[in-house]
A and B are shown apart, each in its own frame.
Chain A
Amino acid sequence: MKNRTESDRRKFILGMARGAGITALSGFIWSAYVDEVTASQLLLRPPGAIKEKDFLKTCIKCGLCVEACPYDTLLLAKPGDHKPLGTPYFIPRDIPCYMCPDIPCVPVCPTGALNEKSVTTNGKLDINIAEMGLAIIDRETCIAYWGIQCDACYRACPILGKAITVEYSKNERTGKHAFLTPVVHADACTGCGLCEKACVTEKPAIFVLPKEVAMGKAGSHYVKGWDKEDEKRLKDATEIKSTTEISKGTAIDSLNSGIGGLDK
């Protein structure tokens, strides 16, 4: 009898250990897979999409935005698309976002992954403030930068004259012609991709990237002193004093002490 209970106990403990081991193993594989499939950065979300990290959390993959899109712009990521599975995205070179004024894809979102507020000005839906991405021009392959006359992207832009402008400059090579080169303005560009669709080069010389990918970041310690709005950031600023070996005296003392303080 005693032997039997002992072997039962052993069986139970071994069984539990096996269960825990298999769970841990599959947990790691599962996590690694999820990490891998959610790592894709280079995709464009519908207008009003919240930050990518929160978007992946919040989107329930129902496809209501895809169904609402009248131009079939939006796609739902399928296995094999190499995008986070079941989430909506679009490829502007195939079908760009035509920037419907009533933005049908956003209010249908049941989860708030597409945030109506982020595309609303004064209580009215406003597609012009959407931030789906940012158009980037490759000056090496844009034929306008070669000196050939082309303003396809400028003409295609729904916010013509604001998101893309054409700059004039002298063509020194010929000496008698002008460059008419397109320039994208990040504050106005919505990333709809109509320019990418319109671009005449074989592979588009102007293309939309997600803003996080396309833009740099100066860091919060740079303040534009000439910009009243930016200056306001200093209003509640407090001083942080840090002392190092070199800076514990005054600056002048540190200089007068020769290089002694620096080579330590």
Chain B
Amino acid sequence: MKTFWNKYRYLFFRRTTQIGLLFLYFGANAWGWTVLMGNLSTSVLFNTIPLSDPYAVLQMVAAGAVIATDLIIGALIITMFYLVIGGRAFCSWVCPINLVTDAAALLRRKIGVDNFAKRQPATRNIRYWVLGLSLVISLAMGVAAFEFISPISMLHRGVIFGFGFGWAAVLIIFLFDLLVLKNGWCGHICPLGGFYSLVGKNSLVRVHHNEENCTECMKCKVVCPEQQVLYMIGKESIPVLWAACTNCARCIEVCDDDALGFSIRKLVNDKKKGE
């Protein structure tokens, strides 16, 4: 059996980065810290390095704004990180809404909502429609459209600068995920998740499955917020290549048979196998 630490180590690190980042932002506003200032839309690291949300910048481009150099550099740094290394890691390692939707998913499992809401009537491709729509509306209205409704921004801005009625948006997401659609926000609707899926499609860090060790207990599929990406469990020893995987590593932790683990993707090998 695994130790407690082994079962929750990645979860611990994820929560640490998620809450730690918010704490640094909060400290910047409340106590004048200069480690990481701003918020997840745009921040400044150590008073020098700009970091920007590339999806927000993309909407600004669609809206017809003049994009400043700092913004381009900041968006490039973030894009390159997820493009080359992280994949969709933003969603499970940085985004504060992940705390909310993970809590909803946990409660959903605990009280057995899935038992009476078995059907998942929505496609996970909604996020790409929303992504496209956000750019069309940005173009038509001349403002970054998603930034005005994003519950993600409402949450991180709320923590840093004060909530107002932002808690209501967060509660809506929680209840939606709990009662309406399993993994509804992060797994179906959120265009930022869709954006990072596209960006991180070919990133290097991947979860790998070792079929020889697998006992087909399917614990990994139970915890996975994007369970369609684990189609190979018990069938093939291949990495999880589908873009929707957020690298949250919950599957690795719940696996008692050492059949899953992080590894660097082998580009040549994967290409031969195709996707």
Contacts and interface: CB of A to CB of B under 8 A. Distances in A.
Nearest to A38: B143
Given A64-B42, A84-B148, A58 B129 contact: no
Interface string B9-37: 00000000000000000001100100001
A66 interface: yes
A38 B29 contact: no
B142 to A, nearest CB: 6
Interface stretch (A73-81, A149-157, A219-227, A236-244): A73-81
B78 interface: no
A62 B137 contact: no
Given A26-B133, A33-B148, A61 B41 contact: yes
Contacts of A78: 157-158, 161-166
B125 to A, nearest CB: 9
Contacts of A60: 41-42, 52-53, 56-57, 60, 71, 144, 147
Contacts of A38: 141, 143, 148
Interface stretch (B62-70, B92-100, B180-188, B252-260): B62-70
Interface in B62-84: 63-68, 70-71, 74
Interface in B240-254: none
Contacts of A57: 60, 63-65, 142-144
A63 interface: yes
Given A23-B133, A58-B65, A85-B154, A63 B163 contact: no
Given A78-B164, A80-B164, A61 B66 contact: no
Contacts of A37: 148
A57 B56 CA distance: 11
A53 B65 CA distance: 10
Q: Which 6 A-B pairs have the closest CB atoms?
A: A78-B164, A80-B165, A62-B42, A80-B164, A79-B165, A57-B65
Interface of A: 19, 23, 26-27, 30-31, 33-35, 37-38, 53-54, 56-58, 60-64, 66-67, 75-76, 78-81, 84-86, 108, 110-112
Given A64-B37, A78-B158, A110-B74, 7 more contacts: A57-B143, A60-B42, A62-B42, A86-B41, A86-B157, A110-B50, A111-B60
21 contacts: A19-B129, A27-B133, A27-B136, A34-B137, A60-B147, A61-B39, A61-B153, A62-B39, A62-B41, A63-B38, A66-B29, A67-B29, A67-B32, A76-B162, A78-B158, A78-B162, A78-B163, A79-B166, A79-B168, A110-B44, A110-B50
